[in-house]
């Protein structure tokens, strides 16, 4: 389980991308005061914070299978209803929410179609179901340089390109298979600035997600080879990384 890490490690590795993405993703949801929202795969709360800001803590529910993330988000937002659990088995009655969002989660679901079906079930008819996944397949995601360096060193490494929703159009296909209606695909892009190479590299050593898991199982020599290759592929510091995510908005 690659999300059994501290909220701080997540913030350093992925939060720097997912927090600005959450601002744009929340905008896309066109939520209004009075709406009840569910954040599926909330992590330590990057998107939850946006929902709380727009709707108030009482109107927000969040769920995630990672114990450290559930503990962190409960400490951060004591008034938000936070549950441990997975998208595929949401512990809520039908039609409980006006919107259900999953930011950077569908590709980690064991069964993405049933996860999206569950999101639709707990959303009232006509309510919004939305999801986004980094463009890992098209090389537009935040980890593109990392996986390119890995594949230069180890062409058989799996990477994240084949995960659900990571290629153009696949999120919409999954939504269609889940029976969602009025499916609208789009994409979002964020830019993150790094002042030094170490600022970019160190978070990969914290064991977060598939990339972190890949680095932590390398011996020191292989890790050095990978770090050197990444440094060769990146521009000289300071530099900016643009990260794009495939998104879909649909109706339950
Ligand atoms: C990349 S993080 C995204 C966290 C947060 N939404 C964000 O944008 O920062 C992926 C999250 O999905 C959670 N996750 C993994 N499998 C899941 C599943 N089947 N259902 C719901 N969440 C899941 C992980 O625990 C992790 O918190």
Q: CA-to-CA distance for 95 and 121, rounded, in angstroms?
A: 6
Q: What is the pLDDT of residue 55?
A: 98
Q: Say how many Å lie between the CA of residue 214 and the centre of ligand 1.
A: 18
Mutate to test the pocket of ligand 1, among 22, 65, 88, 110 (most ligand atoms within 8 A of CB): 65
- Judge whether 98 and 123 are in contact, CB under 8 Å: yes
Integer Rg of the chain from CA: 18
Q: Block means of pLDDT (10 residues each) for the chain, length 252 residues?
A: 90 97 96 97 98 98 98 97 98 98 98 98 98 97 98 95 97 98 98 98 97 97 98 98 98 98
Ligand 1 centroid to residue 99 C-alpha, Å: 17
Contact 148, 214 (CB under 8 A): no
State how far Cα 141 lies from the chain centre. Answer: 11
pLDDT at 38: 98
**Alpha carbon distances (Å) from 63 to 101, 237, 244:** 11, 37, 24
pLDDT of residue 1: 55
Q: Which residue has a Cα nearest atom 1 of ligand 1?
A: 104
CB of 104 closer than 6 A to ligand 1?
yes
pLDDT of amino acid 2: 80
State in Å: Cα 42 to ligand 1 middle. Answer: 6
Residue nearest ligand 1's atom 15 by CA: 108
Ligand 1 close to Cβ of residue 212 (< 6 A): no
């Amino acid at each position: 389980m690659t999300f059994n890490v501290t909220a701080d490690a997540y913030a350093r590795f992925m939060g720097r991308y997912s927090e600005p993405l959450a601002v744009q993703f929340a905008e896309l949801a066109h939520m209004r005061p009075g709406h009840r929202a569910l954040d599926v795969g909330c992590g330590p709360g990057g998107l939850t914070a946006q929902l709380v800001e727009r709707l108030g803590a009482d109107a927000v529910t969040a769920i995630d299978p990672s114990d450290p993330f559930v503990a962190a988000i409960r400490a951060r937002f004591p008034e938000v209803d936070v549950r441990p659990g997975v998208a595929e088995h949401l512990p809520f009655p039908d039609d409980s929410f006006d919107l259900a969002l999953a930011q950077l989660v569908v590709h980690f679901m064991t069964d993405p179609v049933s996860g999206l079906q569950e999101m639709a079930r707990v959303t009232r008819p006509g309510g919004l179901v939305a999801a986004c996944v980094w463009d890992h397949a098209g090389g537009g995601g935040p980890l593109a340089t990392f996986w390119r360096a890995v594949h230069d060193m180890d062409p058989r490494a799996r990477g994240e390109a084949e995960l659900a929703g990571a290629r153009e159009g696949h999120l919409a296909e999954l939504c269609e298979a889940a029976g969602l209606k009025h499916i609208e695909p789009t994409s979002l892009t964020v830019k993150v600035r790094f002042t030094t190479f170490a600022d970019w590299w160190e978070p990969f050593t914290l064991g977060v997600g598939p990339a972190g898991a890949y680095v932590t199982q390398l011996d020191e020599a292989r890790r050095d080879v990978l770090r050197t290759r990444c440094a060769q592929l990146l521009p000289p510091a300071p530099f900016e990384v643009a990260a794009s995510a495939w998104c879909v908005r649909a109706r339950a």
